[in-house]
Amino acid sequence: METPSTSILLTLTLTISSLVLVRSGDPDILSDFLIPPTLDPSTVTRQFFTFTGFRNLRKANLTGKTNALITKATKKEFPVLHGQSVSVATLLYPPSGINPPHIHPRSAELLLVLQGELEVGFVDSTNKLFVQTLRAPDLFLFPKGLVHFQRDQRRYLGKGLCN
Ligand SMILES: *[C@@H]1O[C@H](CO)[C@@H](O)[C@H](O)[C@H]1NC(C)=O
């Protein structure tokens, strides 16, 4: 028989960790915004400034996945970002899922945990490792050009609650 506390634990451990990353790093542009050459400027409306690609995240299926599911809003997916020096990505983690160590050479990364708990870390240029456990709605900065990673923490959260 399930006790009420078991139900709470299951709810927590099945919760999907998600977060938002914001990056920046281009030189300033000389106009308000840039319109790609493939687009007729007279057709630019409020839609050009709107990205709806994250709506599909609600339907994401992480069954059988080990790495984070990454959905990007960069200038490729969201052309208004050309020249604006910023982009955003959302990551959904399966239980204990990871975003393996990687580098962004041109920009820092600001990470906002929207739900759940996440272990993050980076190595600085003197080889010092900084590891932190974050909980929604914590914010963490990965400095530009340093190797960094994220790992979902629910396995540990579950253990803690069981003890
Ligand atoms: C999710 O993906 C798994 C593995 O690919 C599949 O077996 C399952 O049917 C999917 N669930 C839904 C709701 O699509």
| Helix axes 154-162 and 4-14, enclosed angle (nearest 10) | 170
Task: Give the number of the atom of ligand 1 that is nearest the alpha carbon of residue 64.
Answer: 4
pLDDT tens figures, 76-107:
999 999 888 888 888 888 888 888 899 988 88
3-state secondary structure of 88: strand
Q: What are phi and psi of 137, to 5 degrees?
A: -105, 55
pTM of the model: 0.75
Indicate the domain borders of the chain: 4-162
pLDDT tens figures, 8-36:
333 333 344 555 666 666 677 888 999 99
Please give the distance, rounded to the nearest whole angstrom, from the Cα atom of residue 62 to the centre of ligand 1: 8
More confident: 161 or 150: 150
Is 109 annotated as a binding-site member? yes
Task: Give the number of the atom of ligand 1 that is nearest the alpha carbon of residue 61.
Answer: 1
What gap in Å lies between CA 83 and CA 74, rounded to an integer?
Answer: 11
The architecture (CATH level 2) of 4-162 comes to: Sandwich (2.60)
What gap in Å lies between CA 88 and CA 75, rounded to an integer?
Answer: 10
Q: Is 61 in the pocket of ligand 1 (CB under 6 A)?
A: yes
Is 2 annotated as a binding-site member? no
Residue 155 has pLDDT above 60, yes or no: no
Count CB atoms within 10 A of the CB of residue 31. Answer: 7
